[in-house]
């Protein structure tokens, strides 16, 4: 079958399988028969409406929001909260658990105001609360939550002002818990509660010995940074009893780490925490809440495995295992089932955001067409390289690779010594590329690929230059090698015939995506389509709703992207709920302590001096000043 026929036989289903969208998409994303990525609106288990990301992209551009754009899908925020709460409710009903569930979204995971507001609004029906790790986040919680049954969990180190804010929240009727990180916080909480005349709600964070897998495994075990040891926990109990506040100790907290891939680790941690719970009740602490912290993972790569980018369990299994473990531990001691609290952030918001961007240019490693015969006056080393390429066959790939590399190196050395010309070197480099491409094309015929040749296809992959900044929009892909699903959002009924890595605009060697999620594990290149000169080519990076906005930095002074929030209605239409233009150049300059007005005045003075020196005309000056002003107001990213 020819390549043309293969392309014709390619369908959207093949693309869906190639990129694994049904595995990592959580049921929210798919590929339409027209070859476009679609968003599915959750609809209580029914087939909800779908909207094409290409339609959304066009709608954004019509509203003046150019690429790159961070797209937020409000329906998915609602869905994730619903799934978590209803899964716990179903697990409790099935097992006969006598307590209830309360969620608390950690604000640090996505601090954007309308995201937190949406969580509070939709979560109100479930009494879903917020977790605050700083004074600023506590102020967000106090000004956002309306439901007094929703919990506010205060983690992190707390000074007097932080504690006073929480105690004032208690006066307002909020269930605001102080989770003790160290015994040193106890005297301050006692002092401020007496000063304000209000009993605090107190929790304690355990330092469990249970170890977990994954990138954040150091958050667990004896050497974890946070939490109270058994010795410190006894000190806390004694201090609270002595102060007459042991009745305030109502919550036991632990956090094994973010993105825990193995459900067995979670279950082991719950069992260990229950042992503490049992003995603290025996000590007289009226515990009624068990807070598991975060850790509920999502499947970034679609492998449903214990890799750091996946998990071997569903939300439903997570809930059942937590509920059963607590029941099995506490029932033999006739201890009342506590309210189960989780601070699930990643699992709540990761699916809700997609980074959309366009491809600006492509760098190829394809050779230019070779002449039918080697030019007669060619240097001997060029003739050697020419001959080495012509004899490449499946039975000599390693030898051929050694030969073409050797002759290429000889040609480079001769150029450095001035023995051959630039044109001769360029011809030699082109011959070398032709040899590598011929070797790479024959690799599939081998039963065992030599180790040195295994990465050859990656070395020859294209570089697709994307209109975005890794450091601003996908910092975890650079900092901790987080894998995010990446794929084209259109042309998916065409066979993607190129392999590429994705480079960003920062001109930094780390500003790239070269790890991609796939149905059979991670890959170092992405299957993409050849870019057509007459049309834009769009990619999407999915599952980026957790942490990425907050952690983004101003590398090369690329600022926040344009942002849009949409809601899909039942008829398959979309409402543009929220639009926010990204940072202008003036914005990002001010972030690093430049004064845009002062910069304009200095540039104007420079231009005026050029007029006086006769370098430019007054008309030139005006055009330059207008261009400078337009640039200050312009988008930090590439604009066509």
Whether 319 is catalytic is no
Distances (CA, A) of 294 to 70, 242, 297, 492: 25, 32, 9, 36
CA-based R_g, the chain, Å: 30
The contacts of residue 252 (CB under 8 Å, 6+ apart) are 203, 204, 206, 273, 276, 277, 280, 287, 289, 290, 291, 338
Cβ contacts of residue 377 below 8 Å, gap of 6+? none
The two structure tokens encoding residue 316:
């439903």
| Beta carbons of 283 and 235 less than 8 angstroms apart | no
Report which of 283, 325, 311, 75 is spatially closest to residue 214, judged by C-alpha positions: 311
Measure Cα distances from 282 to 286, 291, 336 in Å: 9, 19, 13
Q: How far apart are CA 371 and CA 357, in angstroms?
A: 39
Q: Which of 542, 373, 576, 359 is nearest to 468 (CA)?
A: 359
Residue 143 phi, psi dihedral angles, 5° rounding: -95, -5
Q: Of 256, 248, 183, which is closest to residue 217 (Cα–Cα)?
A: 256
Compute how many other C-beta atoms are within 10 angstroms of the C-beta atom of residue 419: 12
Beta bridge partners of 361: 465
The sign of the dihedral angle between the CA atoms of 301, 302, 303, 306 is positive
- Rounded to 10 degrees, the C-alpha dihedral 289/294/297/298 comes to 100
Output the CA torsion sign for 236, 238, 241, 246. positive
How far is 280 from 288, CA to CA, in rounded Å? 11
Residue 79 three-state SS: helix
Q: Which two tokens stand for residue 522?
A: 């991670």
| Residues 263, 317 contacting (CB under 8 angstroms) | yes
Distances (CA, A) of 92 to 332, 337, 348: 18, 11, 20
Helix (H, G, I), strand (E, B) or coil at 446: coil
Q: Which of 154, 248, 274, 507 is catalytic?
A: 507
Phi-psi region of 259 (alpha: psi -120 to 50; beta: other; left: phi over 0): left
Q: Identify which of 35, 40, 72, 21 has the alpha carbon closest to the alpha carbon of residue 489.
A: 35
Q: How far apart are the first and last CA of the chain?
A: 39
Residue 50 is classified by DSSP as E
Distances (CA, A) of 147 to 106, 122, 315, 377: 17, 11, 25, 85
| Cα–Cα separations (whole angstroms), residue 633 to 85, 595, 627 | 45, 13, 10
Question: How far is residue 255's CA from residue 226's CA, in Å, rounded to a whole number?
Answer: 9
Distance CA 30, CA 23 (A): 10
Report, as residue numbers or ranges, the catalytic residues: 507
């Amino acid at each position: 079958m020819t390549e043309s026929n293969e392309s014709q036989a390619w369908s959207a289903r093949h693309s869906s399988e190639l990129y694994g969208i049904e595995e990592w998409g959580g049921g929210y994303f798919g590929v339409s028969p027209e070859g476009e990525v679609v968003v599915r609106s959750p609809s209580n288990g029914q087939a909800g409406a779908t909207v094409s990301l290409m339609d959304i992209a066009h709608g954004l551009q019509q509203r003046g929001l150019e690429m790159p754009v961070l797209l937020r899908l409000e329906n998915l925020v609602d869905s994730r909260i619903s799934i978590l709460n209803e899964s716990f409710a179903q697990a409790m009903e099935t097992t006969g658990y006598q307590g209830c569930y309360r969620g608390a979204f950690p604000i640090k995971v996505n601090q954007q105001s309308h995201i937190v507001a949406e969580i509070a609004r939709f979560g109100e029906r479930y009494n879903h609360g917020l977790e605050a790790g700083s004074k600023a986040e506590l102020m967000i919680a106090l000004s956002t939550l309306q439901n007094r049954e929703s919990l506010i969990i205060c983690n992190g180190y707390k000074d007097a002002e932080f504690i006073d804010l929480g105690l004032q929240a208690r006066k307002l009727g909020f269930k605001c818990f102080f989770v003790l990180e160290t015994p040193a916080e106890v005297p301050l909480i006692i002092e401020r509660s007496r000063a304000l005349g209000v009993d605090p709600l107190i929790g304690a964070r355990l330092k469990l010995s249970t170890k977990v897998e994954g990138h954040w495994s150091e958050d667990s075990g004896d050497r974890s940074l946070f939490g109270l040891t058994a010795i410190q926990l006894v000190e806390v109990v004694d201090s609270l009893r002595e102060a007459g506040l042991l009745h305030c100790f109502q919550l036991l907290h632990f956090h094994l780490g973010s993105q825990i891939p193995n459900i067995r680790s979670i279950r082991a941690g719950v069992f260990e925490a229950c042992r503490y719970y049992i003995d603290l009740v025996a000590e007289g602490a009226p515990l009624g809440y068990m807070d598991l912290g975060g850790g509920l993972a999502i499947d970034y790569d679609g492998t449903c495995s214990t890799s750091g980018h996946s998990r071997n369990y569903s939300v439903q299994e997570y809930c059942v295992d937590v509920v059963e473990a607590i029941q099995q531990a506490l029932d033999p001691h006739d201890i009342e089932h506590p309210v189960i609290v989780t601070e699930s952030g990643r699992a709540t918001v990761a699916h809700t955001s997609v980074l959309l961007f366009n491809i600006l240019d492509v760098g190829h490693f394809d050779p230019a067409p070779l002449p039918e015969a080697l030019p007669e006056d060619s240097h001997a080393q060029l003739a050697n390289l020419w001959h080495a390429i012509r004899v490449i066959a499946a039975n000599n790939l390693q030898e051929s690779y050694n030969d073409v590399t050797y002759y290429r190196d000889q040609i480079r050395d001769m150029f450095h010594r001035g023995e051959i010309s630039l044109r001769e070197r360029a011809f030699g480099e082109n011959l070398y590329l032709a040899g590598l491409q011929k070797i790479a094309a024959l690799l599939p015929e081998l039963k065992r690929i030599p180790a040195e040749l295994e990465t050859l296809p990656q070395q020859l992959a294209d570089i697709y230059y994307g209109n975005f900044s890794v450091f601003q929009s996908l910092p975890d892909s650079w900092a901790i090698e987080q894998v995010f699903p990446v794929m084209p959002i259109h042309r998916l009924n065409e066979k993607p015939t190129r392999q590429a890595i994705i480079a960003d605009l920062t001109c930094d060697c780390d500003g790239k995506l070269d790890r991609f999620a796939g149905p059979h594990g991670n890959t170092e290149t992405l299957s993409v389509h050849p870019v057509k000169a007459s049309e834009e080519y769009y990619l999407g990076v999915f599952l980026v709703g957790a942490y990425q906005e907050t952690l983004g930095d101003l590398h090369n002074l690329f600022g926040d992207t344009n942002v849009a929030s949409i809601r899909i209605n039942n008829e398959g239409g979309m409402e543009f709920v929220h639009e926010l233009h990204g940072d202008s150049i003036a914005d990002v300059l001010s972030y690093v302590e430049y004064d845009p007005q002062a910069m304009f005045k200095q540039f104007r003075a420079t231009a005026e001096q050029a007029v006086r020196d006769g370098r430019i005309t007054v008309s030139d000056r005006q055009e330059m000043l207008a261009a400078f002003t337009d640039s200050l107001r312009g988008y930090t990213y590439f604009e066509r």
